[in-house]
Amino acid sequence: MNIRLLNAGEKLPMELLLLADPSQSMVEAYIDKGECFVAEEDNRVIGVYVLISKGLGTSEIVNLAVDEEHQGKGTGRALLRDAIQTAKKQGYKTIEIGTGNSSIGQLALYQKCGFRMTSIDRDFFIRHYEEKIYENGIQCMDMVRLSQDL
């Protein structure tokens, strides 16, 4: 597997981005504010993450997704580690990530990779998304924010 920065003018892997964030308008609102990285295997994009600057020495992973057939095989962990290393190389002191209260697998992965919960943005997904989101039989309502010192 190879992880690289998406080239200027290269087509965004929107179908993957929408796995992590079901609102295309939300994705379009942040995609140009950061850098999009892709994981490739056999010349096929199988994963993606978007890293943005929040200023004051902090970066944020605003989207991280893995193609469904490659989930559970270490691709997400590799993308997360790459994002952490990229943020370090770019001189950031802290990296943040947020996920839904219903994203049980993601919450476990992020903590296994050294992230700690810092806050909960209550009703984030109710305020920012028109349609209700369900995952693992739980309504996604709150954004759980995590961070890691670099």
Domains by residue range for the chain, with CATH: 2-149 (3.40.630.30)
pLDDT band at 93 (very low <50, low <70, confident <90, very high): very high
Is the whole model's pTM more than 0.75, yes or no? Answer: yes
State the chain's mean pLDDT as an integer.
95
DSSP string, 89-131: HTT-SEEEEEEETT-HHHHHHHHHTT-EEEEEETTHHHHH-SS
